[in-house]
Structure 1
Amino acid sequence: MQDILGQAIADYQAGQRRTRLWILPSYGPREQMPVRVYFRSPSEMSELEHIALGACTGHILDAGAGAGSHALYLQQQGRKVTALDISPLNCAAMKERGVTDVRKGDLLKWKGRRFDTVLLLMNGIGITGSIQGLKDFLATAPNLLKPGGQLLFDSSDIAYLYEKNPVAGRRYYGEVDYQYSYRGQVSGLFSWLYIDSKRLRKIARATGWHCDELYREDSGQYLMRLTR
């Protein structure tokens, strides 16, 4: 089973909801990931999410769309939205749920049309995997956007995870390795990035972006808009 998250989403969509999805992080013990999160209704979404969805303009690319909950909400609001996900199982689930424009693909390799808004919620910017990956993405991301376009994403400072176990070595503490575990199968290792806002602003400025923090939760999770 290669597409473990996609299989969990497909099973949930099909009514199979007893099996647990786990994430195995490099910073500590395994954690359960409720698959229900990917299917939540607008009333179950956070204030941060609603602010992000309200800030979307024009033709929106919902990148890493998962089961399509954000794309569905935008679509129901009469917005023009394209849902992008690398998982064929996720794409199938979105189509079954009623998302009308679904594309299978990798945001980091996107060569198609440009958008007014690229939306990366649920820490979607983490797909860049590392500080260098983020720099590389921001250097090429203007190719995703129409003139005046915007990137919208959330992230957080996870330094608190290491208060008892300081990070050793030169690696940035927000660069995390994960695996998924589901139905007795374990995925390959993949990297994910959590970026503190101060470091993000510095990297963004160096690559020609302007940052506007639209919202910050008490937990430290924040919503950022990047424009050229």
Structure 2
Amino acid sequence: MADIFGKALLDYHFGNYSEDIKTYSSLDEEDYIPLPYLFRDFDKMPILEQKALELATGTVLDIGCGAGNHALHLQNNGFEVTGLDASEGAINACKSRGLSSTVHTKLLDFSGKQFDTLLLLMNGIGLAGKLNNLSNFLSHLKSLLSPNGQILLDSSDIIYMFDQDDDGGYWIPDSGNYYGEVTFTMEYKKEKSSPFPWLYLDFNTLQNACSANNLKCELVSEGNHYDYLAKLLLQ
């Protein structure tokens, strides 16, 4: 699959910014990911991301690190942090920006090391793709966690994107799938990615999945628009 995301990050990093990434989703929405936003510093980050970084302890694995904003902030504050991303361009951007430790791989292919904090920010739990993959995904995260470690993740309940009826209920298409399962395609400079699944999780569903996988799930903070920060601990 073409590394469209990585190509865009490298273009921006090396001063060749001319357009943003366009996204198409199964929610029938066309949107953009502004490249400058993918290079934001701590002061420009949403409150939930800032809070997660403030809660980080010990050795850190930044999963889906992108351009490395979170990892670089922690590294600059004395943390031993590793950035992991399946995008080769993202990892090259991180290296060029000064991140000392990086891993270019898919999360489920990475093993053999444990960390005190796993970060999955910018809806990193979305990497699970589909709800029926979540148990296996959480199990793999547990294998990367030191005995007293923590997983910090943010996500959104996208129920608000569906029509509401008079009694407050929501009209959700009866597709048989969980409503937070979305399929995305990215486009950059006339090149399109293959479609890929992405998962948005409401907190109760996350909590139930954690319970089934012997993880304690705490709601740390709620954002302004159906988003939240959660902390997961080994039971």
TM-score range, shorter chain: over 0.9
* Higher mean displacement: 106-115 or 44-53: 106-115
Task: Describe the SS at the equivalent of 2:186.
Answer: strand
What's the CA shift string for 1:114-137, capped at 9, x where partnerless? Answer: 111110100011000011111111
- How do 1:1-228 residues align onto structure 2 when only pairs under 5 Å count? 2-163=2-163, 166-228=172-234
Moved over 6 A (4+): none
What's the CA shift string for 1:93-115, capped at 9, x where partnerless? Answer: 11111111111111122113111
Q: Distance in 2 between matches of 1:186 and 1:135?
A: 30
Q: CA RMSD in A?
A: 1.2
Task: Describe the SS at the equivalent of 1:111.
Answer: coil
Task: Describe the SS at the equivalent of 2:174.
Answer: coil
Offset, 1:167 = 1.9
Task: Describe the SS at the equivalent of 2:37.
Answer: helix
Task: Describe the SS at the equivalent of 2:173.
Answer: coil
* Higher mean displacement: 150-159 or 130-139: 130-139
Identify unmatched segments of 5+ residues in structure 2. Answer: 165-170
Offset, 1:140 = 2.9
Q: Distance in 2 between matches of 1:53 and 1:189?
A: 31
Q: Distance in 1 between matches of 2:224 and 2:88?
A: 36
Q: Distance in 2 between matches of 1:192 and 1:152?
A: 18
Offset, 1:206 = 1.0
TM-score relative to the length of structure 2? 0.94
Q: Percent identity?
A: 39
Offset, 1:166 = 2.9
Offset, 1:163 = 1.4
What's the CA shift string for 1:169-194, capped at 9, x where partnerless? Answer: 21001000000011111100100000
| Structure 1 match to 2:168 | none
Q: Distance in 2 between matches of 1:144 and 1:6?
A: 25
Give the partner amino acid of 1:173: Y
Q: Distance in 2 between matches of 1:20 and 1:39?
A: 13
Task: Describe the SS at the equivalent of 1:12.
Answer: helix
Number of residue pairs matched? 228
TM-score relative to the length of structure 1? 0.97
Q: Distance in 2 between matches of 1:78 and 1:101?
A: 13
Offset, 1:168 = 2.4
